[in-house]
Amino acid sequence: MSTPTATTDPASAYADVVRDNASLRAFLYGLPGVDQVGADARAAALGGRSIKTDAKKWAVDTAISMIDLTTLEGADTPGKVRSLCAKALQPDPSDLTAPHTAAVCVYGDMVRYAVEALGDSGVGVAAVATAFPSGRASEAVKLADVKDAVDAGASEIDMVIDRGAYLSGRYLDVYDSIVKVKAACGSAHLKVIFETGELATYDNVRRVSWLAMIAGADFIKTSTGKIQPAATPPVTMIMLEAVRDWYAATGRHVGVKPAGGIRTTKDAMKYLVIVNEVAGEDWLDPALFRFGASSLLNDLLLQRQRMSTGRYSGPDYVTVD
């Protein structure tokens, strides 16, 4: 793989790569291919490693602090969003040492309620935008979607790419869309959702990861949670390899967020091992790794209570989201 010289100005370094669609295609297809069998085997091996008992409490608390607590339902109300924010701030009212989650993720019209509830707590407010989850809308509508959420106070924007454009080879269209959304975000961080379950191959996951990073993504995210398969260990591993290699090439950190289908503490531990082994300790931080898995929080809280008391609480001990 030929990459530009390491620089703190990736946009300048990759200017030739995004000169036109043919140049971008040539770059993306020049990236190393992914051996699917090898990737599956390596992810399984990494995920099979255990975490030492004395590190499990740290790992549980770290996983809690990485969660984007989410509600994305047509029946969402201001009251439901406020309730979710209360849980994000204080996940376990019986144990005030439990860390807060990283962010609360809502639809754009719910952002102002989350901002009011969370204040300056340090819990971010993320909004899905750009015609989530399909990504099928005009550019004007997508950018207006982003602007509405940012104006309401969102600190993070989760955009979805046009998978149809990507799969038909219109790579520059996808790149331009991300660049424009990034500009519309202002100071808000941009997470770019690929919907990897629709991209068919691991090669596509690697290529779209690089495309998004060149376009300015602050985070790359597997899925909307609306399509199966959503996040998987091999796909997350390939994205972690991409952000690791991007950092080596540019000196710029990009985060990774697997979303959808991660429900148990055991699953979360597997992902943390993969993060550490593939990208390194820098990514064991909510600033660079998130879980888009609200149901995961309850299992983490139950495991945390067991480690503190020696007993399992019933599943009715924590609130149902």
Report pLDDT digits (tens) over 106-144.
999 999 999 999 999 999 999 999 999 999 899 999 999
pLDDT of residue 296: 94
Taking the chain, what is the end-to-end CA distance rounded to the nearest angstrom? 45
Q: Where are the domains of the chain?
A: 25-309
Contact 67, 297 (CB under 8 A): yes
pLDDT of residue 131: 93
pLDDT of residue 309: 79
List the chain residues with pLDDT less than 70.
Answer: 1-8, 312, 314-321
pLDDT of residue 14: 92
Three-state SS for 125? Answer: strand
Contact 242, 206 (CB under 8 A): yes
CA quadruple 45, 51, 57, 62: dihedral positive or negative? negative
Q: Which string of b and e fits 81-120 if b means at least 16 CB within 10 Å?
A: bbebbebbbebbeeeeebbbbbbbbbbbebbbbbbebbee
- The rounded distance, in Å, linking the Cα atoms of 249 and 13 is 10
The fold of the 25-309 domain, in CATH, is TIM Barrel (3.20.20)
pLDDT of residue 2: 44
pLDDT of residue 122: 96
Distances (CA, A) of 108 to 65, 77, 122, 167, 259: 23, 12, 19, 27, 19
Distances (CA, A) of 233 to 164, 166, 167: 24, 23, 22
Three-state SS for 133? Answer: coil
pLDDT of residue 1: 46
Contact 283, 256 (CB under 8 A): yes
pLDDT of residue 8: 56
Any idea which residues carry the catalytic annotation? 158, 221, 257
Output the pTM of the full model: 0.93
